[in-house]
């Protein structure tokens, strides 16, 4: 069976990363689009919008819990087999969602889709990094993450539009089709990359004994709780200038476009200067940007400029974070990237809760200050952690 090194001579790692990015686009579209379909889902299933919102909650919880569990169970599998299986499970989950007539079955199907999504995203990042090698690891991860940012800019709006013109079930079929299109491409084009066959499960779990890896995971929760608070409550923070849905849509589009540029830039910087330096610099600058955000919430032009800067910086954190944790983990990268994904989804949940408390206690104008404080904490944790600088 071909080795990773031999596979790299047959095709550039960039083409493999692009194939993985398409799968990430399918998974990301599913994660982002459901929120925009909640009213129509609620009407169709004869439940309240709040009850329909639990589809997002179930997906997030299942994703966070199942990511490391599935990584352990598939540790010895070929990475290609894991990725194709993940997309198949993901497609089945979304197909059941599209076909289900009852609320309970729709909830259960979201957990199935989350299992496939969690397994795919974590494995895709680790596989791309492994194929690219140490010198170009950041760029490889950035290309995979481009699929996620593209789903925010293109996939979610397209899915929402289809849901509005046709039916929310049509959007679920769209996501299913995207996954089924990505799976054969990965099966045919991705080179053979072995799973962890040496040292058994103890060796696979060894990275969890490294305090630096634990510190990176804790930092991920802190950083992304701060990043997602302003994003989750963007409609409240910029209510003075974006009270209409069309203006809010423009701000979200700008956020996604600038975030895409930030992700790709961060990948290059992480390869050149080391992920730790990039994380410290970006989180410090982002803290300052959040602290200045309230000054731009009353003027549209200032709000757009703020969104451009914040979006660019917010998406400049995830690639260096993954780069750092993969570098530290070594052979245990598959498990650690799954734990990284769990930390991200935990941060999403915490951002909603912490943001709600801040909104009730201090008001929307003060939420960016809460985010700024969390970014300072993330910068301090990263600086103190003895991770690799190069």
Sorted by where each begins, the domain ranges of the chain are 4-195, 206-384
Q: So what's the pLDDT on residue 12?
A: 63
The CATH code that applies to domain 206-384 is 1.20.1250.20
Task: List the one residue out of 383, 207, 356 whose CA is nearest residue 287.
Answer: 383
CB 202 within 8 A of CB 325: no
CB 13 within 8 A of CB 271: no
Provide the token pair at 74: 């598939």
Residues 6+ apart with CB under 8 A from 370: 226, 229, 354, 355, 358, 362
Residue 299 DSSP one-character state: S
Using DSSP, state whether 376 is helix, strand or coil.
helix
Topology given in CATH for the domain delimited by 4-195: Growth Hormone; Chain: A; (1.20.1250)
Task: List the one residue out of 294, 333, 98, 306 whose CA is nearest residue 195.
Answer: 333
Model-level pTM? 0.76
Residues 6+ apart with CB under 8 A from 52: 38, 39, 41, 42, 45
Query: What is the C-alpha separation between 374 and 363, in angstroms, rounded?
Result: 17
Q: What is the pLDDT along the chain (390 residues), one digit of tens a residue?
A: 344 444 344 336 667 778 888 888 998 888 777 766 777 888 889 988 777 777 877 888 888 888 888 888 887 788 888 999 999 999 999 999 999 989 999 999 999 999 999 899 888 888 887 777 767 777 788 888 888 878 777 776 777 778 778 888 998 999 999 999 999 988 887 777 666 655 455 655 666 778 888 898 999 999 999 998 888 777 778 878 766 556 776 777 888 888 888 888 888 888 888 889 999 999 999 999 999 999 888 888 888 899 999 989 998 898 888 888 888 876 666 677 778 888 888 887 788 778 878 878 888 888 899 999 999 999 999 998 765 544
Query: What is the C-alpha separation between 340 and 350, in angstroms, rounded?
Result: 15
Residue 134 DSSP one-character state: G
Go through the chain and tell me how many residues it has: 390
Task: List the one residue out of 173, 181, 183, 184 whose CA is nearest residue 94.
Answer: 173
Residue identified by tokens 């990039």 is: 278
Q: So what's the pLDDT on residue 109?
A: 94
Query: What is the C-alpha separation between 254 and 289, in angstroms, rounded?
Result: 16
CB 79 within 8 A of CB 123: yes
Q: So what's the pLDDT on residue 149?
A: 78
């Amino acid at each position: 069976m071909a080795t990773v090194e031999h596979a790299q001579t047959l095709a550039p790692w960039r083409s493999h990363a692009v194939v993985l990015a398409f799968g990430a686009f399918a998974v990301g579209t599913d994660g982002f689009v459901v929120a925009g379909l909640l009213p129509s889902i609620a009407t169709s299933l004869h439940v309240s919008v709040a009850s329909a919102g639990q589809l997002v909650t179930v997906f997030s919880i299942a994703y966070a819990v199942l990511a490391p569990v599935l990584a352990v169970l598939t540790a010895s599998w070929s990475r290609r087999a894991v990725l194709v299986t993940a997309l198949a499970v993901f497609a089945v989950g979304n197909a059941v969602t599209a076909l289900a007539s009852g609320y309970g079955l729709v909830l259960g199907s979201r957990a199935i889709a989350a299992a496939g999504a969690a397994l795919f995203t974590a494995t895709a990042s680790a596989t791309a990094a492994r194929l690219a090698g140490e010198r170009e690891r950041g760029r490889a991860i950035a290309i995979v993450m481009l699929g996620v940012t593209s789903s925010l800019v293109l996939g979610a709006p397209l899915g929402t539009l289809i849901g509005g013109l046709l039916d929310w079930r049509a959007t679920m079929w769209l996501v299913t089709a995207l996954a089924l299109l990505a799976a054969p491409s990965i099966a045919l084009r991705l080179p053979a990359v072995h799973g962890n066959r040496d040292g058994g499960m103890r060796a696979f779990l060894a990275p969890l004994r490294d305090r630096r890896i634990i510190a990176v995971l804790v930092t991920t929760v802190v950083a992304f709780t701060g990043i997602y608070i302003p994003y989750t409550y963007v409609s409240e923070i910029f209510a003075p200038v974006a009270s209409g849905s069309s203006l809010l849509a423009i701000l979200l589009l700008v956020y996604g476009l600038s975030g895409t540029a930030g992700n790709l830039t961060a990948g290059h910087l992480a390869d050149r200067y080391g992920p730790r330096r990039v994380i410290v610099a970006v989180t410090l600058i982002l803290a300052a940007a959040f602290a200045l955000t309230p000054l731009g919430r009353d003027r549209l032009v200032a709000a757009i400029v703020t969104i451009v800067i914040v979006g660019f910086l917010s998406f400049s954190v995830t690639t260096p974070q993954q780069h750092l944790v993969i570098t530290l983990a070594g052979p245990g990268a598959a498990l650690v990237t799954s734990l990284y994904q769990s930390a991200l989804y935990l941060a999403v949940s915490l951002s909603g809760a912490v943001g709600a408390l801040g909104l009730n206690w201090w008001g929307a104008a003060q939420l960016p200050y809460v985010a700024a404080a969390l970014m300072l904490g993330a910068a301090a944790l990263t600086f103190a952690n003895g991770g690799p600088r190069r």
